[in-house]
Structure 1
Amino acid sequence: MFNLKALRKNKTVQYGVPMLLLIVGGSFGLREFTQIRYDAQKRKRLDPSLEAKVNVEKQPVILEEEYKKMKDLKLDEWRNIRGPRPWENSKDYQEQQRGSQSKAA
């Protein structure tokens, strides 16, 4: 009886043991939760049509072909158009931008 009361009053037993249990138990718990995450990623499969597109994009990129694509773009005609501000009516702003585009063209 005396030993049980002494153990309850001991600060190491009162605070240290629960802390160690939380650290060790938390480690095992986290391992289980992360394992669920990785198992779910393995099961996840892409739609066959999307998977075909992804596999097509994995072809090697040839710099000469990319340069020809960029050379064909008309960057001189590009115009930076800002979006509407929160206090502006977006419909009115879009119409105003469309009107100024047709005037510039």
Structure 2
Amino acid sequence: MWNNWKALQSNKTARYGIPMLLLIVGGSFGLREFTQIRYDAQKIKKKLDPALEARVSTQKQKVTLETEYEKLKELNLEDWRNIRGPRPWEDSRQYQEQQRSQQATKQGREH
């Protein structure tokens, strides 16, 4: 018996191959179980209350390209101005006052 044990320890296939085979086969079963748990949890999370699901589905259907276009037509884009904020190295109060003074001079010229 002791001689057989020594023979198995010196055999590289028995020493390294069998544990590797067990690791691969066991890992595939473990991975399958963990992924199944993941997909089951996603199914549970996706289930919504029927009343809430009805509200969500009607809200999704209301948004169409035509309604969004009508919203954009109502906006006044002619008077739109691009206002640049202060840079990190600029003093924001000083920059705001500078912008206000420039705006005041522009409005003074227009009127």
Query: Which TM-score tier does this pair reach, normalised by the shorter chain?
Result: 0.5 to 0.7
- Residue of structure 1 equivalent to 2:12: 11
* Structure 1: gaps (5+ residues): none
CA RMSD of aligned residues (A): 3.7
Question: Which structure exhibits the higher relative contact order, with contacts defined as CA atoms closer than 8 Å and separated by 6 or more residues?
Answer: 1
Query: After the TM superposition, which residues 19-34 of structure 1 pair with which residues of structure 2 at under 5 Å, given as runs?
Result: 19-34=20-35
1:57 corresponds to: 59
Select 1:68's aligned residue among 67, 70, 79: 70
Give the 3-state SS of the residue equivalent to 2:61 in structure 1: coil
Q: Residue 82 and residue 10 in structure 1: after superposition, are their counterparts in 2 closer, same or farther (change >3 A)? A: farther
Q: How many residues align?
A: 100
Deviation string 1:30-82 (CA, Å, 9 cap, x unpaired) is: 11111111111222244677534421233175433332222223344153555
Question: Greater CA radius of gyration, 1 or 2?
Answer: 2
1:83 to partner: Cα distance: 7.8
Change in Cα spacing, 1:41 to 1:4, as seen in structure 2 (3 Å) is: same
3-state DSSP of counterpart to 2:82: coil
User: Deviations for 1:10-32, whole angstroms, at most 9, x for unmatched residues?
Assistant: 11111111111111111111111
1:25 is matched by which residue type in structure 2? Answer: G
Unaligned 5+ segments in structure 2 are none
TM-score, normalised by the number of residues in structure 1: 0.62
Give me the whole-angstrom Cα distance separating, in 1, the residues matched to 2:87 and 2:56: 35
Aligned partner letter, 2:34: F
